[in-house]
A and B are shown apart, each in its own frame.
Chain A
């Protein structure tokens, strides 16, 4: 039985056709993958189904009836639910309050906690309705969103990149839930570019490229490589690397401890780490376990005690960000818009944001805009940033393109130590490969590189050694040679916490 049928959907924006004659159908109880690079038109398509975008042409039928939702409320009324990639939750409120806030017709306050427990039991999603959301892990926050959807008993559940913030064990729990839903007849539209997951979970896959459907396949019978090549349209290059002999110790963290910088932050506890020249160290962990704080302690945004952060034998824990850049310590925080880059400033200004010290873009305090523009231009060219020009504001760039710009800006400064947090978050496969290659090339040139990432495949692909960050503590780094995803997952310790939560719920 077909639940949702899309016929010839077309949507054009000025200058770009987001969807062109897209047709496919989703069966009842089917887990259907929507696969494509950033900018392939996945978001527009999903927003069309969810009533956020009206197509220029084409039509949809839902269970045989014509379906054209005028807004998300209408879509939800017809049984469409969606879990977004970025959560919209209030940190200071409880799980139950957050869920009630996001519902069109919330059940009475007294019943809601009971309903949440009921659903979380039924689908194996451990969640305590009285917890404050600010204290939850990313995986638990996602469960809040999922349960909010499930309380409305949807016929079609849309999930946008749901696993990007989860540990392997959390992914398994999520997949169990999704399979259970599918067996009970709920259809799922699963958007991702992680091919292994799609192969493990989905019954069918529709592949989009540049707004068009370029293929449909049974992911269980297709290799990841074949799907990736359909998605990208070319033959993929895996990053080239050789495990070079690591050189002298460059970066040394000795018993690094720091209090949490704000209420929902994480304290760093006794972190020990040595990074040698030519080495890439990958640090994994679920978001909110001290990643931001570790980057801040290295970039200079957060000062630490004497001797805790040592570069080339000199303690730099008390130095300002620019003093650190001067000796070659560069960083790229996770949040692109508003932290690594200023959204309302142009790319030229954003190039200046960190580039002034090493690229010498000013003289006696007077800024050399021509030179800054050249630097921005060289980043755009070297990292294939898609933008009309250097005078575009950062917020006008897509997430992936801005990420390329931010990472490129640091790499082109030829740092001695580079710390990046989530370098390829939300970046399409081809661009992610080029960013990873650039990080490897930087290390090959003798730099010490620290990659903090929740994408474990990424860490296995580029890191020489791996360590897990959990509640502000760093595990002992181990070589990535022969390390499996499962072993990493256990090091991350996320699964352990979840079982505890389940017992409470």
Chain B
């Protein structure tokens, strides 16, 4: 009989090996899936993992991977704090959209200013505040009225989605846009544009911000009292309360933090790759970031790698659709497999497999 036995200490080996094993397992499962669809399994895997990075058109795909990874990493890093503390912010998508709306709103208010050193920083600050305030709403409701932050933050996503559609065809509509919905294109507005810092690399300010966020989050989690309190509250709420951690403060701080970072990602997206406020503003970064946070096992460095991997499967998935005529659904199944494998293999970090009869020590 096969069974799991809890390890007295988490295994150091599996902490690092698990993600690698999981990727290998996913590749094998994926190949089986693609083969069963009558596609070339090796070619499909190659299209997903190899072509975007090293293939013929990698000069185009690499920047795309980086641009896709940056918001995921930025949002997931913020979410990791809340998730570790047991505060479930599911509404990063809404906070991300509100960041974009507020950032774009401030930038457009100064149009056609030429003062880059005023408009761009102000837009960033406004976006961060916008996201943070959107995160603060479920926090305050939870602290004051014991509402469930999962529901409130999630419902606020739909509010934000309605707002961005309304703004794109109302208040923020481009006056020179012949009546079409959508704001002015911010990436063509030099004072507010979040353009590539090095041509052809895909590296914009959001990428820099994501890297800084990862580094700062790492320091906070491992060396700062706040990070300690977050970990303690998540692992052992009673011990945290005995230690003197104020759970309400933790709820407010972690939602402010994750909301703020999601808002930040929103500004960088709206002033850069997306360019404008529009109903079809790039969606799902806020939801995908939840997966990224867990794939990276809520660790900043892990999130950095998970974000890059996730972005790669998106871009690679597009390549595979294009080259191998794989259906889009197969790519989504493949991404799902990745998540399941990581969670499955992850069990080995805290448990060991045993064969044979039960024995309790």
Contacts and interface: CB of A to CB of B under 8 A. Distances in A.
Interface of A: 13, 44, 47, 52-54, 70-71, 299-301, 320-322, 325, 331, 333, 335, 338-345, 349, 352-354, 356-357, 362, 365-367, 369, 392-393, 395-396
Interface stretch (B76-84, B195-203, B237-245, B325-333): B237-245
A47 B360 contact: yes
A393 B244 contact: no
A367 B225 contact: yes
B239 A54 contact: no
Contact of B242 (A70, A333, A343, A396): A333
Nearest to A319: B244
B239 A365 contact: no
B57 to A, nearest CB: 46
A322 to B, nearest CB: 4
A422 to B, nearest CB: 15
Interface string B324-361: 00000000000000000000000000000000011111
Interface in B217-231: 223-226, 228, 231
Contacts of B361: 13, 44, 53
Contacts of B9: 392-393, 396
B280 interface: no
B219 to A, nearest CB: 8
B232 interface: yes
Contacts of B224: 365-367
A299 B359 CA distance: 40
B246 interface: yes
A70 B357 contact: yes
Given A342-B235, A367-B224, 10 more contacts: A44-B361, A54-B357, A300-B244, A339-B242, A342-B232, A353-B242, A354-B242, A365-B224, A392-B9, A395-B8
Contacts of B148: none
B355 to A, nearest CB: 14
A71 B228 contact: no
B243 A71 contact: no
Nearest to A340: B242
Nearest to A321: B244
In order of increasing CB-CB distance, the 9 nearest A-B pairs are A321-B244, A322-B244, A342-B236, A396-B8, A342-B239, A339-B238, A365-B225, A353-B243, A52-B360
Interface in B226-281: 226, 228, 231-232, 235-236, 238-244, 246
A52 B359 contact: yes
29 contacts: A13-B361, A44-B361, A52-B360, A299-B242, A300-B244, A301-B241, A320-B244, A320-B246, A321-B242, A321-B243, A321-B244, A325-B244, A333-B242, A335-B238, A338-B239, A339-B238, A340-B239, A342-B235, A343-B235, A345-B232, A345-B236, A349-B228, A353-B239, A353-B242, A354-B243, A367-B224, A367-B225, A392-B9, A396-B9
A13 B8 CA distance: 14
Contacts of A53: 359-361
A70 B9 CA distance: 28
Interface residues of B, number: 25
B192 to A, nearest CB: 35
Nearest to B237: A338
Nearest to A322: B244
A47 B358 CA distance: 12
Contact of B223 (A335, A353, A357, A367): A367
Contacts, number: 82
Nearest to A353: B243
Interface of B: 8-10, 223-226, 228, 231-232, 235-236, 238-244, 246, 357-361
Contacts of A52: 358-360
B225 A54 contact: no
Contacts of A344: 10, 235-236
Contacts of B223: 366-367, 369
B11 to A, nearest CB: 12
Given A54-B357, A393-B8, A338 B226 contact: no
Given A13-B361, A52-B360, A393-B9, A338 B228 contact: no
A339 B241 CA distance: 8
Contacts of A44: 361
B357 A352 contact: no
Contacts of B225: 356, 362, 365-367
A338 B236 contact: yes
A71 B359 CA distance: 8
A341 B244 CA distance: 13
A353 B232 CA distance: 9
Contacts of A301: 241-242
B283 to A, nearest CB: 36
B220 to A, nearest CB: 9
A382 to B, nearest CB: 21
Contacts of B238: 335, 338-339
A297 to B, nearest CB: 13
A264 to B, nearest CB: 14
Contacts of B242: 299, 301, 321, 331, 333, 339-340, 353-354
B218 to A, nearest CB: 13
A393 B9 CA distance: 6
A330 to B, nearest CB: 11
Contact of B228 (A325, A333, A352): A352
Contacts of A392: 9
B305 to A, nearest CB: 23
A342 B241 CA distance: 11
A185 to B, nearest CB: 30
Contacts of B246: 320
A299 B239 CA distance: 12
A343 B236 CA distance: 8
A299 B244 CA distance: 9
Contacts of A366: 223-225
A3 B334 CA distance: 62
B129 to A, nearest CB: 23
A396 B6 CA distance: 11
Contacts of A367: 223-225, 228
A301 B244 CA distance: 7
A396 B8 CA distance: 5
Contacts of B244: 300, 320-322, 325, 357
Nearest to B356: A54
Nearest to A354: B243
Nearest to A362: B225
Contacts of B357: 54, 70-71
B175 to A, nearest CB: 48
A57 B239 CA distance: 42
A371 to B, nearest CB: 12
Contact of B359 (A54, A322, A338, A352): A54
A392 B8 CA distance: 9
Contacts of A353: 232, 239, 242-243
